[in-house]
Amino acid sequence: MSYQTILTEVDGKVATITLNRPDVLNALNDQLMDELGEALLKFDADDNIGCIIVTGSEKAFAAGADIASMAKRSLQDVYRHNFISRNWGHMQKVRKPVIAAVSGYALGGGCELAMMCDTIMAADNAKFAQPEIKLGIIPGAGGTQRLPRAVSKAKAMDLALTGRMMDAAEAERAGLVSRIFPKADLLKEVKAIAKDIADMPLLTTMMVKEAVNTAYETTLSQGIHFERRLFHACFGTNDQKEGMAAFMEKRPAKFTNS
Ligand code: HXC
């Protein structure tokens, strides 16, 4: 598949998608979001892939939605064409783990795209912001909803109302980022983590993702009930038998993703 705005690479069971519009700091335009969605769904459907990384350049994960392509749009146009709903929802259809590896700017839609991933790992130069307010708009790809869930209402309000940038250390303290690495090591480290995840039993990693994401959509008792049923379902997999047998026999497990 040849793409114009992203690069894709497969190494063993890990797929890496690199946002690639360097001239505009990976500003997210329609074509990029179409291509990203297509690549994500392709890797999700590929039985040989166990984990997907989404990353950008050292300077920018993504500096937001493409302002040049939004500047002249009207209410009638964005409403009629359901702006961003058409191709920003693909990430939510992916059932395998997706890691955002963020170096440099993750601003506006870039921050929102990172938050759509299952976890965010950052380089020490990463900067996160929801600067939309300075453009006369509010975040439109989940920033007002995912950010408070990730960091707290106080910090989400602070960030969305001021548009200020939050560095990697603050983002980790606030809970937005799970780990920080030196910028030069980010991709190597995240690829190693992705490989570890991809070597886990696939059905179980998918169930973990589904269960954790359910925590954001339901009450505690319904979430616990859902988790319990998926936990029971694990006992129907060959990989539960293999994982536990391997432990008892003191040998490495050989998972078959079945
Ligand atoms: C279009 C962008 C862009 C963007 C940068 N560029 N961000 N183009 N959309 N979001 C372009 C610049 O115009 C410039 O092009 C080139 O990238 C390099 O950017 P510079 O500004 O020259 O770089 P620098 O001085 O290093 O500043 C970096 C920056 C700044 C701090 C990241 O570019 C910036 O503030 N960008 C906008 C960030 C932002 O407001 N994002 C939110 C967008 S709204 P030229 O041609 O001049 O070289 C949004 C809404 C989401 O995301 C809603 C749902 C999708």
pLDDT at 49 over 80: yes
Mean pLDDT, rounded, for 177-184 = 98
Q: Quick one: 20 exposed, middle or buried, by C-beta within 10 A (0-12, 13-18, 19+)?
A: middle
pLDDT at 181 over 90: yes
Residues 200-232: tens digit of each pLDDT: 999 999 999 999 999 999 999 999 999 999 999
What is the rounded CA–CA span in Å between residue 139 and residue 112?
8
Quick one: pLDDT band at residue 182, thresholds 50, 70, 90? very high
Q: What does pLDDT average to over the chain? A: 97
Residues 17-41: tens digit of each pLDDT: 999 999 999 999 999 999 999 999 9
Active site residue 50: no
Which DSSP symbol is given to 65?
B
Confidence check on the interface: ipTM exceeds 0.95, yes or no: yes
Query: What pTM, to 2 d.p., does this model score?
Result: 0.98
Angle ∠(131,133,138) on CA atoms, nearest 5: 100
Q: Domains (ranges, CATH) in the chain?
A: 6-199 (3.90.226.10), 202-249 (1.10.12.10)
Residue 135 tokens, joined: 């453009």
Active site residue 9: no
Buried b (16+ CB within 10 A) or exposed e, 63-84: bbbbeeebeeeeeeeeeeeebb
pLDDT at 1 over 80: no
The predicted structure's pLDDT at residue 151: 98
Quick one: pLDDT band at residue 80, thresholds 50, 70, 90? very high
pLDDT at 130 over 80: yes
Residue nearest to atom 51 of ligand 1 (CA): 109
The predicted structure's pLDDT at residue 41: 98
The predicted structure's pLDDT at residue 183: 98
**Which atom of ligand 1 has the smallest separation from the CA of 108?**
52
Pocket of ligand 1, beta carbon within 6 A: 24-25, 27, 63-68, 84, 105, 107-109, 131-132, 135, 139-141
Annotated catalytic residue within 60, 62, 101, 132: 132
Gap from CA of 147 to ligand 1 centroid (Å)? 21
Q: CB–CB of 64/28 below 8 Å?
A: yes
Active site residue 170: no
Element housing 226 (H / E) = helix 220-234
Gap from CA of 129 to ligand 1 centroid (Å)? 12
Number of H helices, E strands in the chain: 13, 10
Gap from CA of 15 to ligand 1 centroid (Å)? 27
Residue nearest to atom 54 of ligand 1 (CA): 140
pLDDT at 198 over 80: yes
Annotated catalytic residue within 109, 140, 142, 143: 109
Annotated catalytic residue within 112, 114, 156, 198: 112
C-alpha torsion sign, points 219, 222, 225, 231: negative
DSSP assignments along 149-173, one per residue? HHH-HHHHHHHHHH---EEHHHHHH
The predicted structure's pLDDT at residue 119: 98
Mean pLDDT, rounded, for 53-75 = 97
Quick one: pLDDT band at residue 43, thresholds 50, 70, 90? very high
Gap from CA of 154 to ligand 1 centroid (Å)? 26
pLDDT at 7 over 90: yes
Residues 155-175: tens digit of each pLDDT: 999 999 999 999 999 999 999
**Which atom of ligand 1 has the smallest separation from the CA of 67?**
9
Element housing 128 (H / E) = strand 127-129
The predicted structure's pLDDT at residue 247: 98
